[in-house]
Amino acid sequence: MPELPEVEVTRLSFADRIAGATIESVRMGKPLRWPLGCSQDDLVGQRIDGVRRRGKYLLLDLERGILLLHLGMSGSLSFERCLPPAGVHDHFEMTTSHGQLRLNDPRRFGAAVFAPSEQATVAQKLLGRLGMEPLGPDFDLPRFQTGLKLRKAPIKQVLLAGDLVVGVGNIYASEALFMAGIRPTTSARRISRARAQRLHHAIRLVLARAVERGGSTLRDFSNARGESGHFQLEAMVYGRAGQPCKTCGSPVRTIRQGQRSTFFCGLCQKP
């Protein structure tokens, strides 16, 4: 599943190329997770002012409203001057004066949703409960520490929930917890202020490095230029069950938390 770094890498790979373009046509394939929310013709003629990101959503700022794009479980975007004919899994395509933007999503959990503004009900339903942006200036340490103290759940599950800090998905939660030396099963409210500070710092470092490395390509992720990511090659624990920890040499362990695999080192990460 594309996580925050993959979405940010995708944004960076086409945002400057599509900015200022005029929408010439919109084509919808099979239904996605949510309806478009407007007539396809309503988008034609609008200028795309820029592309932002909120959590795992891409926000295309239009002259009148915003278009929210989500990659779902297995989606990817392509943007080129001219793309090949649409395939069976290409469910949203927007032709602009600068090129074609296409969403390929085999499982159709992705979305393309129009909203009149970011304050509109449809946008707030998707964005309103998202937590702090971990790569942004609003990732406030005191607020993060206070939020942890209010949660009984294991810290890994708190990070994945997205209502305290957004976009720290499965791969990067495992990696950040390893960097901070915190076992993923530890109750969030039991984490001391010093350890919370280390985790806050680790989240920033891990996500920033993942963006720098183009995200993680475990199966078929690629950015809007068709380029794969390489962060997975640097993972300290994720996907390394049974292999020696790169720090202490003990075997990396794996458990299931909330139907997701969690990887950690039993010696380096303390409860």
Catalytic-residue membership of 246:
no
Q: Is 99 helix (H, G, I), strand (E, B) or coil?
A: strand
Which residue among 3, 8, 93, 175 is the active-site one? 3
Distance between CA 94 and CA 80 in Å, rounded? Answer: 11
Return the residue matching tokens 């478009």.
Answer: 36
Cite the beta strand spans of the chain per DSSP E.
23-28, 48-54, 57-62, 65-70, 76-80, 90-96, 99-104, 111-115, 252-257, 260-265
Q: Which residues pair with 187 in a beta bridge?
A: 154
Which residue among 2, 5, 134, 154 is the active-site one? 2
Which residue among 198, 209, 225, 260 is the active-site one? 260
Distance between CA 73 and CA 86 in Å, rounded? Answer: 20
Catalytic-residue membership of 56:
yes
Distance between CA 39 and CA 58 in Å, rounded? Answer: 20
Evaluate whether 172 touches 9 at the Cβ level (below 8 Å): no
Which residue among 11, 17, 53, 56 is the active-site one? 56
Catalytic-residue membership of 3:
yes
Q: Is 240 helix (H, G, I), strand (E, B) or coil?
A: coil
226: DSSP letter: S
Handedness of CA 143, 186, 160, 221 (dihedral sign): positive
User: Active-site positions?
Assistant: 2-3, 56, 260
